[in-house]
Chain A
């Protein structure tokens, strides 16, 4: 269960980074950047 959770997390993080580079809308890029922070911290099991 734990590793499935991490795999889902990694996919969501990758999609978020993809959106960050794909979109031309600056506000969406900022939003994606903010979403990356908690996803990354959890993927690294820091928070």
Chain B
């Protein structure tokens, strides 16, 4: 009897030790994601602030995030670029960083929030098998970026309700949407962490009187709104001109009106609750799709996936898909170029209040040289 007890106690201790070792290894891996990506101040960056400077309720929370300010020599209109609203949509995050590290405003002011949902970058979605990070090769060495979660880290906002009720409209969605930044606008100062971030962004837009807001996203290839601009009704003229400009560069893009009954999104609420002209843009990201195969860094960077090629042949996709995939260069290039076209369209319509940026990388150049050619050397550790 004593021998049997001793044996199962020994195996229990071994199993517990194994669990503790596994917890330590996994825990170290998860904690490493909390270290923010390196973003280098480009020649146009005049100031770096935090979102809590506009809404102090965020100070010291995981929702507080960097706001890069690029101020031109002459006064003009202003633009806010939101990258990383969904941290598992890397082209939006990278396009915002390309603007920070390259662009020099001549007239007007550019605000860039590259990690709009900073908390979402500290974890990735369970059961998705997604990589924690990906590497972009640059002429000065590799730059590593986080591949995060679509939503706020549940460690920072928990538990989820069974049903998420959007505060200002009463719209009901599944409970986990309570952590989706792009379902929380206009936000609440006393709401959840996600709603506080939304509120902070709205305060920035209101206090700085931001003229145009561009929210950069990616979508699954089987999602109908893809390679598209979604515009609030009051931004529709600007968006239409932008689409024409892109089509003239042979960049196929569709224009979608912001649905009136889909609440909490930037393209709806920022237009309804502030004076800004809100636009949201989507590119094709296989690594977040439901039909994808192996989800690794290569898929994030190349978009090559045989299952999506097959789905395309079956007519199940809303975007062309072949063996070439949709590489990160194409996706970042689309966002960067589309923002440039928004500026061109704005300046044509509003020459009295210009918004002129220099050194915006061209679409063909990004395709040819890669995104890495437009990333600055990271400072030595």
Contact = CB atoms under 8 A, between A and B. Distances in A.
Interface residues of B, number: 20
A33 B155 contact: no
Interface residues of A, number: 23
B11 A26 contact: yes
B19 interface: yes
A40 B8 contact: no
A2 B158 contact: yes
Nearest to A45: B155
B313 to A, nearest CB: 39
A34 B9 contact: no
A29 B27 contact: no
Given A1-B159, A5-B159, A29-B8, A20 B27 contact: no
B23 A20 contact: no
Interface in A3-46: 5, 17, 20-21, 23-24, 26, 29-30, 32-34, 36-37, 40-42, 44-46
A46 B4 CA distance: 37
Main secondary structure of the interface of B (DSSP, over half): helix
B158 A41 contact: no
A23 B11 CA distance: 10
Contacts of A21: 9, 12
A47 B9 contact: no
A1 to B, nearest CB: 7
A29 to B, nearest CB: 5
A33 B21 CA distance: 11
B30 A46 contact: yes
Given A2-B159, A41-B30, A47-B155, A36 B23 contact: yes
Interface of B: 4, 8-9, 11-12, 15-16, 18-20, 22-23, 26-27, 30-31, 123, 155, 158-159
Interface of A: 1-2, 5, 17, 20-21, 23-24, 26, 29-30, 32-34, 36-37, 40-42, 44-47
